[in-house]
A and B are shown apart, each in its own frame.
Chain A
Amino acid sequence: MKFGVVVFPGSNCDHDCYHVLKDALGQDTAYIWHKDRSLDGCDCIVLPGGFSYGDYLRTGAIARFSPIMNEVEGFAKKGGIVIGICNGFQVLLESGLLPGAMRHNDSVKFVCKFVNLKTENIDTPFTNRCNKGQVLRIPIAHGEGNYYVDDNTLKALNKENRIIFRYCDKNGEVTPDANPNGSLENIAGIVNKPGNVLGMMPHPERCSEPVLGFVDGKLIFESIIGWLRKR
């Protein structure tokens, strides 16, 4: 089993993802440069957070045309496991692998803090180690995480259980007060229709070791490892 962490110019959570997968979880992990044209036999691709191409034009809009993204799209369409975190989520939206788009946070501020996430669907490669409705404590750090999608797609996302995480309070209640950025229906993470591509704004790689205070992020990486092992 091998993990690949894509490195775009301006990625800044690539090392964190690599460290968690390689050192904290003991997985074979490689960096993949954005100009590469091979995924090097990886079973799971991580699109990390950061500011790819300086967030110029729109977040993720230019990274989405990196040579490696052709490979990632082909891999995803064949059922390969892809997780996009923060800027990685924005790249997935721009590439059309996930529906919707990000607006500026409703506060127009960069928000960097721990939030609570309600796990809405545990029948996925990314959440199978969680309990239904489990509240995960994971940090966010973004200026453009205000998720938007048209009404029909939003209905489909709900109907098909594709909204995986919603911002909630500490008791798991999904309330307007718990929404840090204005996202429609408190959406923090979604999957594509077949369920093999996840985009999430919070950063699980920043809370996967006891030394960092919280370890809930590890559940997501362990879910992927467990799922790949079973396959």
Chain B
Amino acid sequence: MSRAALLVLADGRFPAGGHAHSGGAEAAVKAGRITGGASLEDFCRGRLHTAGLVSASLAAAAVLGLDVRELDAAADARTPSPALRAAARKLGRQLLRAARATWPGDELDAVAREFPKGAHQPVVLGLAARAAGLEAVDAAYCAAYESVSGPASATVRLLSLDPFDATGALARLAPELDRVVDRAVEAARRAVDDGVDALPAASGPLLEIGAEAHAAWAVRLFAS
């Protein structure tokens, strides 16, 4: 494997549609829950330990070869908001396109055939990592980091926040990100024997509720 492939996959400019999504930040900004660097950090911490942990474990499990259909159903079960399920599938489809063009192979082609409208993004992320020759821990890092980097860059645009404040928040979360990745990979390894029910099911109810409200706005900058 080439560890450097992780940099390609984790690059914020990897063309897989993420730029149009705020990871719940737009709804949280409107609700007054994110107003600056400190509250952005709090928001990201919450997202990391809930949606981030779940995404990281799904991605790691996909690298370890768990059944894609079961993982996709597990992601559905862990995503109460229909708007977030739709966004996750849309992003999964976009990521699959980019991954197939970047690391062509039969496994990704088969997933595209089975899920023409997209599988959940973290599951596809794991499969993309696998196609790139990466390991479960790499996919988990990528998913966990995306769970906080997306809201951070969106908040820079939404609040005209000082970009150094946003980047500082991400850097301060790094040690926690390590721990979340450890937990995610451990759970994914358990799921190899015990099935997808061994994967974490942490959830941030405000993220889900906010996503439903956001999807109904007439005017918004981000798709989710």
Q: Is the A/B pair a real complex?
A: no
Partner-A contacts on B (CB < 8 A)? none
Partner-B contacts on A (CB < 8 A)? none
